[in-house]
Each structure stands twice: as C-alpha cells, then as structure tokens.
Amino acid sequence: MKPIRDRDTPLPKMKRVLLGCALAACASGRANDQSDASSHGADAKVYLDAPAVVTDGSIDAHIIPPDAPPDAYQCHVMTHQLLMNPVFDLNPSGMGWVQQNIDNAYPIVTGDDGIAEQSPPFKAWMGGFAGDDVGVATASDMLYQDIAVPPSTTQLAITGYYEVRTGETGSTVYDSAQLAITQTNGTPIETVKSWTNAAPTTAWTAFSYNVAANLSGQTVRVRFTTSNDYSNATSFYFDTFSVTATYCQ
C-alpha cells in the first residue's frame, strides 16, 4: 500500500492512498440500455414513420404494416458498446486507452493501491499526487480513448462508477476531475460529469448520462482529466465504464 501523508509532513514522491472511510460494498454490473425487437423475430424490421423519438432509452418504432408504402424507411434497431476495454481489465494493462500521468512510475490503469475495484482486477486511478509531491504547482492526469460513433445514431449513453477519496477538508474546491466528449484534437464538445474534493465518497457510486450533441457518424474522444493543487491530494477512481450507441442499420 502506498503511504498517506498529512499537510505538515514532507512528502515522498509517490502516489498516496487516501482511505477516507471504509469502503462499502456496491453491486457490480454494467448499465446498458438495450432496444429489443426480438419479440417480432430475429429478422424483424421496424418502420419509422417519423424521426426517431428517444424516450426511455429505446427508439419509438413498430413493425412495418402490411400496407406500408414500398419506399418506407426500414431498419434494424441496434445497440453497440463502442469502447475497447471499457472495464479496464484487459491485458496488457490499459489496452485501448491513452494514459498521460504525472508520474510514469504509477500508470493510471492499476489494481495495486488498497482500494477494491468495482469490477476486478483493474480500475483507473487518477490524481493521488499533490503538486508539491512532484515539484509542480498543479498535478494533472489524462486518460482518453477515441471512438467511432455509428451513422444513424439516435442515442449515445455513458455509464460507469466512480469513487473520490481526499486529504482535503471543508467545502472549498482545490482538486477536480472531469469526464468530457471532445474532438480528437481536444476541442471540447460536451461535459459529461465533474467531480471535486468537496464531494468525497465512501463507496463506488454509479453515474449515467445521455449525450445531447448529435455525434452520428463522427469520431470523437472520451476523455477523463484530473487536476490537484500543491497540497493534500485527492484520488479519483473510475471503473466499469461504457459508451453505448443506439442506431438504425
């Protein structure tokens, strides 16, 4: 286990485990919105007589009526998980993800830090350093993956689990993390979720988000970033992640 320090103790230059409270059990599993046309047969097609309406995660569609016009739009409603290694567990460690961490001795995708994974054996551990641990004013990590969104995508759903452990106290924000969708050159498109030291957790916590931007047919970047100030580091943990497209084929 990596050491914890207090604000007044000189720091070893190593990532620290921040055990705020005992870890509570959290049910594992992936949240995937699935559209189901199986009740109409494996080869059933659907007829969309208006632009698709997304309500509860599925496309508002019905079987082609016998009297449908011959040029009626026909499609199969599909769902597809777009990430490689979404739960961070494939070998070699971190496969599919680009890791830009403040100290290369401690890769972001890891299982060796005393915090149990939401889905073992690995998770993403970001932060864990204060700036003065590594001789900078601000310590930053980045983890990202580029994904190709299928054409005709009507919904892009993001789900996952996070934990926040911190050595900071009070409600002032010193350290932060963000999950965002960007262009592949880093230009922001949409913020999915943000976290700070002011809202620590005691267990894995689920989150979900439906992307508002129309990204159909585009290649975009799914990007985690963290930033810690000069003292009292915060650790941001992520696991069991998915980006699921619902589209017509």
- Supply the DSSP string of 136-148, one letter for each residue: SSSEEEEEEEEEE
Domain residues of the chain, as ranges? Answer: 78-248
Token pair of 97 as six digits: 């993800």
**pLDDT at residue 70, rounded to an integer:** 58
Q: What are phi and psi of 38, to 5 degrees?
A: -65, -25
**pLDDT at residue 61, rounded to an integer:** 45
Tokens 């915090």 map to which residue? 115
Distance from C-alpha of 1 to C-alpha of 101, rounded to nearest angstrom: 19
**pLDDT at residue 112, rounded to an integer:** 75
**pLDDT at residue 69, rounded to an integer:** 63
72 Cβ neighbours under 8 A, 6+ residues apart: 47, 49, 64
CA angle centred on 107, ends 132 and 193, rounded to 5°: 80
Token pair of 136 as six digits: 């900078």
Token pair of 91 as six digits: 């070998």
**pLDDT at residue 103, rounded to an integer:** 86
For residue 164, which of 9, 21, 13, 4 has the smallest C-alpha distance?
21
Mean pLDDT per 10-residue run, the chain (249 residues)? 37 45 37 39 38 40 54 79 96 94 90 89 96 92 98 97 97 98 98 98 97 98 97 97 94
- With 0.85 as the threshold, say if the pTM is over it: no
- State which fold the 78-248 domain adopts: Jelly Rolls (2.60.120)
